[in-house]
Amino acid sequence: MAPLIKEFQKSSGGFDIKICVSAQHRKMLDQVLHFFEIKPDFDLNIMQQNQNLFDITTEALNGIKEVMFHYKPNWLIVQGDTTTTFVGALAAFYEKVKVAHIEAGLRSFNKQAPFPEEMNRVLTTHLSDIHFAPTIRAKENLLREGVLEDQIFVVGNTSIDALFLCLKKISGKKPDSFAPFNSIDFDKKIILVTGHRRESFGKPFENICHALKMIAENDEIEIVYPVHLNPNVRKPVLKILGKIPNIHLKEPLDYPSFVWLMKKSYIILTDSGGVQEEAPSLGKPVLVMRDITERTEGIEAGTAKIVGTDKEKIIRETLELLNDKSVYDKMAKTVNPYGDGNASKRIIEIISKVL
């Protein structure tokens, strides 16, 4: 949402915008707000220790309710598939406020994966009045669910706008600009890993860790893994991978550091949705550690491949990319089906016409 907020702030369209954050992840949020120089008007500050989906849903809904009572907007804009997105749309519906959904129409067609994101975005669709789809495929998904065509606009994804903004700001910076990277040998091939999906908690995460342990036997690579704060992630990761010299377990990175690291990486292993969209713009092959993905465009374009949480498959596909240059070059395309960096401008033009 950051690039859209910046575009609204410099728009001559006469918009009065207010920014509300839930702060479900306080530290990670504050880093992004600081980097993009954004000051929220409303901060729900809902983060608490060991919060579960019931806590997040009720706290965010009650917080947004208070915002609605204090400042009743004409439109509420939500993005993506988080619980905040869903309850924001629900609160707007209760207050008869119109909803615009950005990144609309992504579907895995499995309500358990990703969990709870798939149901969050399905429910948000049916609470929304206009839908900003990132791709034609996303538009087709919405049409199949009965959304009217004149309510759908294909604009690309604002996450790519944010990526390009970030690349401009960090251009030319060296590893010593990012303190967590001092111990990494960037003369070797860097494998970047992220993993945090709830549906992978337990045995699947252990499989991922054991696969990484085997891959790390190649001393020509460095594996960098910013470890999510959730204890269901940290416990197996630290236990299995904590003492391997060329596996660097890091605290969660701020956004510019993570983008810089993506750019320096050779391969990316992830279960994140956003990384599947960003990496193709950087020409980085992505191995998706999930059994299904709602971002099928990257699979079809050949920039990403699904490997699931199967230990042997993760090892096999990673080693093939490391050892076979032709396979690597085929995936390392700087073709991004998710956007060209102008989604925010398109959204504001459309909202101006709708209003």
List active site positions: 81, 103, 117, 196, 198, 228
> In Å, what is the CA distance from 309 to each residue of 29, 135, 202, 273, 318?
28, 27, 11, 15, 13
State how far the Cα of 96 lies from the Cα of 181, in Å rounded to an integer. 49
Cα dihedral sign, 205-194-289-321: negative
DSSP state of 252: P
Burial 170-190 (b: 16+ CB within 10 A, else e): beeeebeebebbeebeeeebb
State how far the Cα of 112 lies from the Cα of 110, in Å rounded to an integer. 5
DSSP state of 222: E
SS3 75: strand
> In Å, what is the CA distance from 114 to each residue of 79, 149, 262, 328?
16, 26, 23, 27
Q: Say which amino acid occupies 322.
A: L
Nearest 5°: the CA angle 168, 171, 172 is 165
Sorted by sequence, the CB contacts under 8 Å of residue 148 that are 6+ apart come out as none
State how far the Cα of 299 lies from the Cα of 185, in Å rounded to an integer. 30
Q: Say which amino acid occupies 103.
A: E
Residue owning tokens 């030319």: 172
Q: Say which amino acid occupies 9.
A: Q
Q: Say which amino acid occupies 98.
A: K
